[in-house]
Structure 1
Amino acid sequence: MPVISDKGRLMPESPIRKLVPYAETAKKQGRKVYHLNIGQPDIKTPKIALDAVKNNTIEILEYARSEGSDQYREKLAAYYKSKDITITAKDIIISTGGSEALLFAMGTVADYGDEVIIPEPFYANYNGFATASGVKVVPVVSSIEHNFALPPIEEFEKLITPKTKAILICNPGNPTGYLYSREEIRKLADIVKKHNLFLISDEVYREFAYDDAKHYSIMREASIADNAIMIDSVSKRYSMCGARIGCLVSRNKEVIATALKFAQARLSSPTYAQIASEAALETPQSYFDDVIKEYVSRRDLLIGELENIDGVRVAKPKGAFYCIAELPVKDADDFARWLLEDYELNNETVMVAPAAGFYSTPGMGTDQVRIAYVLKKEDLRKAVNILREALKVYPGRK
């Protein structure tokens, strides 16, 4: 019998999606499942983006350019300028989602066996992207005790070896909701400059910053123009996850030229989705003001309810729309399955994402879950109540 690759065997399952079969079974049994497991916003996509596709008169759906259309990239550059990021269209490569941009970045900066340092917990698919690219993830641990703040720079320097090629952050963070301060970004800028590394920043949640905090991009640090690679996406900003449009941004011409070769190998990103994404750039600020207000309200409700559950500890997010909650359970994976297979309250249950999959250090996060507050407040309240009651009877409680 033919043998599959070691790379394939090592590819991790998604902690976000691996429980889907259990959720589908629960639904077939007539139970309602509240999805706290995945960052699929329920906010409506801007009408201007949808109309751009509906009203388009294209007669031949052609390939787009590998780097993305000139018009879209020019408008993106103008958008970034409004965020105090001065770049040109030539500094941008359009990708099929932020995921592909991350794959391009890893392929561009690292060879097989090279290392990328990432503060953990981190977006679970970073493990998958690294495995697919033959790159080793070297974690530097941030903790719930410190609200997942950036670990001390000394901890990064301890991990740097001749194989280290980059530091990768997510700002604001998935799964923690942590928002890096300007001072923290500058510390990272200093360390990548000192050790001649790349700094890759996944900034797809840039609009989601709360409590009067401001997002600070690595692209605003002029001293690391050749070190900085920014990843972005329309998925969360405009509630357009299905468009699968993202981008890689860098002022380093060699990075862009190399990433373009990866982009050419997959031909192009989808044309209609680029049309929708270009139109979405005309979304008025009022849309974002309303969205932020809604997410702050949801966050405050969720955190308040979780803090009232005996034995639960939760870090308060300053951005994005996720939080990590530490539960009084021995195994959050087992608890998540149990919720879907064996528990119901008034014929309803909850789906959460076990947090161990957001770490690469074995044994970390085994009593934690990631919760996405992308549900309406009345559904969030019901979902947390189900968690509260479930924890009272769960046989694997600590």
Structure 2
Amino acid sequence: MKTKDQIREYEKALEEMSPFEIKDTLIKMAKKGSETTTDTFLNAGRGNPNWIATAPREAFFLLGVWAVETCRNEAYSKPGVAGMPPEEGLGDSLKLFLKDNAARHGAHLLLNAIDYAETELGISADSLAYEWADGIIGDHYPTPVRMLVNAEKIVQAYLAQEMGDNAPGLGKEYDLFATEGGTAAMCYIFDSLQANHLLKKGDSIALMAPIFTPYIEIPQLDRYSFDVTNIYADSTDKDGYHTWQYPVEEMDKLRDPKMKLVFLVNPSNPPSYRLSQDCLDYLVDVVKKDNPDLMIVTDDVYGTFAKDFKSLMYVLPRNTLCVYSFSKYFGATGWRLAVIAAAKENIFDRLISQESKECLEDLDKRYGSLSLHPEKIRFIDRMVADSRSVALNHTAGLSTPQQIQMSLFSLMCLLDKRNVYKKKMQDMVEDRLEALWKGTGFRLMEDPLRVGYYSEIDLMLWGSKIYGDDFCNWLKANYEPIDIVLRLARQTSVVLLNGSGFDGPCWSVRASLANLDEIDYLKIGSALRSILDGYYEEYKKAK
């Protein structure tokens, strides 16, 4: 039996680990508890959604049936062997196939998608059908390596709609790089910023916290060793409740020109709030008045769950790289689909052109095998090359079947003029959020900026509101913050993640509202409240 001091030392060691690694310990505890009690094992630690978007998947698989048929020809008469799809006349072939199979799931979406691409995006039916046939078959390397031509046009329009709050221009002012999910995008950005001398070892960067844990951990790696400053979302209302917005004194840290770059997740992960208009306006002021060369990387994977969302890519386009992943909104974490978006006119290219002679010579040598004029290669294309160690640039790119599925996800939303799918997603996570908080008995504040894909619950705040400051002081003196999630797993078979692992309030927990049913969140809320009440019972006995 471990002593109390030994337990606290163990918990302190756990707190140094990523919450995504601690979760394995929590899951083991929770499952063991569920085997010996009537408690149900409930894991709300990870944000993998428990839904899928059906229509674009049905379209994908029906498209695959047609694509295989187009590859059959007399030149390949042996069973199990076919040729490549022809480049001409496939538009009519696909339309005829879809009309003949109009009753099959996916046909309606594909027919409407072809019409939309022709009328709104200027993509001919033949061009689209060939890219789809060749892409879904996967018989060529991705060409262009950065992104297929029509796929880029489609996703540009999707981002203009979803990240730009229906911005005009169909997103043509941005270049896109299709990547193997948002995590790959993160790695590519970090690598290329350093490879192109935009960030050097030890440079000053900022993180808008709380934030997704890898953004905290990657800068600490020896190859980067960045000097990190946190910008904390510690604003509160007049009653002391979190608003999860950034006070001006925190954002003023970005005014220092030594601050090279800022990373943020918007809406945040956790606590799942989008940036207020005041925060967006203040960031614009910071850049325009004091730090015009501030590089911004915004991870906007949860933007589609927010109402009237506008990404920083549309607020400060020249300064911003946007990472958008299709994983959460479409229930597609296994597909590994994301894009990096960069404005065609951006500071990344300008900053590279202004580097020292020594740095420019180094870059010419690095990218010299790709072009007679390597100095003209844009930053987004350098990221593509860097993703394959430059030498394998000719085989870079996201697999073509993945890009076709990405296109179909985007087209479903572009065709959904009444936002039927979006409202379903937003209503579902909101209902789950309300169930969670109802279970806790805590007051869920009304806030139009709340998105609700996650919820960050600060137990110290609620302990103070319900049981007083003396109780909170006792809790801090006798337990480590991570004890909450350990006790929750051990005693109630519920898995949540520690908020401190995201640079959030030490005594907070993160619950994902994506991966369980509404009734489960009511149980989780009740379990969390029982843990707080249990601490209070100990406190009373100690007194």
Moved more, 153-162 or 97-106: 153-162
Give CA-to-partner distance per residue, 1:115-138, whole Å, 9 cap, x none: 221221111121133234613331
Change (3 A) 1:396 1:190: farther
Deviations 1:266-299 (A, max 9, x none): 8332433222222111323311121111122222
Q: Which residue of 1 aligns with 2:359?
A: none
SS of 1:226's equivalent?
helix
Q: SS of the counterpart of 1:103?
A: helix
Cα offset, 1:14, TM superposition:
2.8
> Secondary structure at 1:242's aligned position in 2?
helix
> Unpaired runs of 5+ in structure 2?
1-15, 69-135, 350-377, 464-474
Is 1:15 the equivalent of 2:19?
yes
1:262 aligns with 2:262: no
The residue aligned with 1:64 is 142
- Cα distance change of structure 1 residues 176 and 90 upon mapping to structure 2, 3 Å threshold: closer
2:524 is equivalent to residue 383 of structure 1: yes
Return the TM-score normalized by structure 2. 0.62
CA distance 1:85–1:235, shift in 2 (3 Å):
farther
Query: Which of 249, 252, 256 matches 1:157?
Result: 252
Q: Does 2:262 align with 1:167?
A: yes
TM superposition shift of 1:314 = 8.4
**In the TM superposition, what whole-angstrom CA distance separates every residue of 1:138-197 from its partner, at most 9, and x where no partner exists?**
102222635344323343334655542112222111101111123321221221233121
- Equivalent residues of 2:433, 2:452 under 8 A apart: no
Could you tell me how far 1:380 is from its partner in structure 2? Answer: 0.7
Q: Does 1:103 align with 2:187?
A: yes
Alignment match of 1:127 (pick from 197, 201, 216): 216
**2:44 alignment partner in structure 1:** 36
CA contact (8 A) 1:153 1:188 kept: no
Q: In structure 2, how many angstroms separate the alpha carbons of the residues matched to 1:397 and 1:73? A: 59
Deviations 1:295-348 (A, max 9, x none): 222222223333x15xx99896711511111124543322222333x314xxxx
Instruction: Specify the alignment match of 1:191 in structure 2.
Output: 286
Higher-strand-fraction structure: 1
Q: 2-side partners of 1:62 and 1:396: how far apart?
A: 66
Structure 1 residue 32 displacement after superposition: 3.3
Residue 350 of structure 1 corresponds to 494
Structure 1, unaligned runs of 5 or more: 1-11
* Deviation of the 1:381 alpha carbon: 0.8
Query: Is 1:91 paired with 2:175?
Result: yes
1:331 aligns with 2:480: yes
CA contact (8 A) 2:205 2:227 kept: yes
The answer (yes or no) to whether the contact 2:235–2:247 under 8 Å persists in 1 is: no
Equivalence for 2:203 = 114
Cα–Cα, structure 1 residues 189 and 369, in superposed 2: closer, same or farther, change >3 Å? same
Q: Distance in 2 between matches of 1:85 and 1:20?
A: 46
Q: Which amino acid aligns with 1:34?
A: L
SS of the residue corresponding to residue 18 of structure 1 reads helix
Deviation at 1:34, TM superposition (A): 0.9
- The one of the two structures with greater contact order (alpha-carbon pairs below 8 A, sep at least 6) is 1
Q: Name the CA shift for 1:60/1:300 in 2 (closer, same or farther; >3 Å).
A: closer
Aligned to 2:330: 238
- Give yes or no for contact 2:232–2:246 (8 Å, CA) kept in 1: yes
Partner SS for 1:122: coil
Partner of 1:369: 509
Q: Is the 8 A contact 2:45 2:495 kept in 1?
A: yes
Report if aligned partners of 1:98, 1:233 keep a CA contact under 8 Å in 2: yes
- Contact conserved, 1:202 with 1:232, CA < 8 A, in 2? yes
Q: Distance in 2 between matches of 1:279 and 1:179?
A: 27
Q: Which amino acid aligns with 1:67?
A: R
Report whether the alignment pairs 1:204 with 2:301.
yes
Q: 1: CA distance between counterparts of 2:401 and 2:265? A: 28
Paired residue type of 1:116: I
> Distance between the aligned counterparts of 2:453 and 2:174, measured in 1?
32
Q: Secondary structure at the match of 2:303?
A: coil
Q: 1:52 aligns with which of 50, 60, 73?
A: 60
**Secondary structure of 1:338's match?**
helix
Structure-1 separation of matches of 2:446 and 2:299: 21
Corresponding position of 2:228: 137
In 1, the alpha carbon distance for the partners of 2:254 and 2:280 equals 18
Q: CA deviation at 1:96?
A: 1.4
1:332 aligns to what SS in structure 2? coil
CA contact (8 A) 1:167 1:198 kept: yes
How far apart are the structure 1 equivalents of 2:446 and 2:494?
20
Change beyond 3 A, Cα 1:293–1:313: closer
Q: Matched residue pairs, number?
A: 370
AA at the equivalent of 1:152: P
Change beyond 3 A, Cα 1:237–1:369: same
Aligned to 2:305, the other structure's residue is in SS state coil
Identity %: 21
* TM-score of the superposed pair, with normalisation by structure 1: 0.82
Q: Is the 8 A contact 1:305 1:384 kept in 2?
A: yes
Residues 121 and 175 in structure 1, CA contact (< 8 A), matched pair in contact too: yes
Letter in 1 for 2:508: Q
2-side partners of 1:170 and 1:104: how far apart? 17
Q: Which residue of 2 aligns with 1:178?
A: 273
Q: Which is further off, 73-82 or 145-154?
A: 145-154
Match status 1:219 vs 2:368: no
1:281 to 405, 410, 414: 410
